[in-house]
């Protein structure tokens, strides 16, 4: 959703992804978008992260076998992507369902992740289109739903066009319903205390999909987490307030001694 990225799209080994080449040696970031998200969601942040090495894979939700579509399977999909791209000790960033996938991957692969950044993550509690999203609704209804993502009404007609296409496709809507139900059912609550990587939680103070109480619960359950709120901001802070997001992210990286990342000393 939300249009095409301004950065070059690569295709290989069955994956579509952005790959921004960083200065060497440089730790690698992997950004994971949400269920209704897309590659362009991270463009504002990428533009601020000068010199960073970044991968942004596109999650092909409508190409997976629907009966197997769930968070554990997406965690395996991320594992395969990281292995194929030979990404070592990444810093993972996930928004919404993408955060859920990041948490699942980190939990299953604890020695292969250096740090996490989660924003509006699912995995505990989320309010969204729900498990009974109707197949057809008016453009006004869909625009209202799309704008749940933001503090300000940023959903334009192109975004509504994409939603109209989705809700009028039986294949796509059934896939979304299957994944939505799985996402709600697959709680990370018992797994979070086992995830010990440094974790930054960046939350929109006005997020109504994963509200602030959810962020505070993540903060309580993740042993080495830091929680930061951005005011006048909804469910996708890296889109709506990229400068504030970048500053918090940069401060976090310095706090955890970014220059001590293993790749910095590999030669």
Based on its alpha-carbon atoms, the radius of gyration of the chain, rounded to whole angstroms, reads 17
Mean pLDDT across 179-185: 88
Looking at domain 9-129+187-265, its CATH architecture is 3-Layer(aba) Sandwich (3.40)
Q: Is the pLDDT of residue 167 over 90?
A: no
Per-residue pLDDT of 112-135, as tens digits, reads 999 999 999 999 988 765 444 544
Single pTM value for the model: 0.88
Nearby residues of 10 by Cβ (< 8 Å), 6 or more positions away: 16, 17, 18, 19
Mean pLDDT across 258-267: 52
pLDDT band at 260 (very low <50, low <70, confident <90, very high): low
Burial of residue 67 (number of CB atoms within 10 Å: 0-12, 13-18, 19+) = exposed
Contact assessment for residue 66 and residue 154, using Cβ atoms and an 8 Å cutoff: no
Per-residue pLDDT of 149-158, as tens digits, reads 777 766 666 6
DSSP H or E segment with residue 221? helix 212-221
Question: What's the confidence (pLDDT) of residue 267?
Answer: 35
Pick from 43, 47, 35: which is nearest to 9 by CA? 43
- Whose tokens are 């940023």? That residue is 154
Residue ranges of E strands in the chain: 9-12, 15-20, 28-32, 53-57, 91-95, 115-119, 199-204, 225-230
């Amino acid at each position: 959703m939300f249009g095409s990225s301004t950065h070059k799209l690569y295709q290989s080994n069955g994956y579509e992804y952005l790959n921004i080449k960083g200065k060497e040696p440089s730790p690698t970031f992997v950004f994971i978008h949400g269920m209704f998200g897309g590659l362009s969601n991270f463009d504002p942040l990428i533009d601020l992260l000068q010199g960073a090495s970044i991968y942004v894979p596109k999650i092909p939700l409508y190409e997976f076998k629907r009966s197997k579509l769930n968070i554990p399977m997406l965690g395996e999909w991320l594992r395969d992507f990281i292995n194929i791209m030979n990404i070592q000790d990444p810093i993972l960033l996930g928004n919404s369902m993408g955060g859920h996938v990041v948490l699942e991957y980190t939990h299953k692969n604890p020695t292969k992740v250096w740090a996490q950044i989660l924003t509006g993550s699912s995995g505990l509690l989320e309010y969204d289109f729900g498990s009974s999203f109707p197949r057809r609704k008016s453009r006004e209804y869909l625009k209202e739903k799309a704008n749940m993502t933001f503090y300000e009404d940023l959903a334009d007609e192109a975004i509504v066009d994409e939603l109209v296409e989705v809700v009028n496709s039986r294949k796509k809507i059934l896939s979304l319903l299957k994944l939505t139900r799985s996402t709600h059912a697959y709680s990370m609550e018992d797994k979070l205390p086992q995830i010990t990587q440094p974790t930054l939680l960046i939350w929109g103070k006005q997020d109504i999909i994963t509200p602030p109480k959810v962020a505070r619960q993540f903060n309580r359950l993740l042993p080495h987490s830091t929680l930061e709120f951005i005011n006048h901001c909804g469910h996708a802070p890296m889109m709506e307030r990229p400068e504030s997001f970048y500053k918090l992210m940069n401060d976090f990286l310095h706090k955890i001694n970014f220059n001590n990342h293993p790749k910095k000393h590999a030669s």
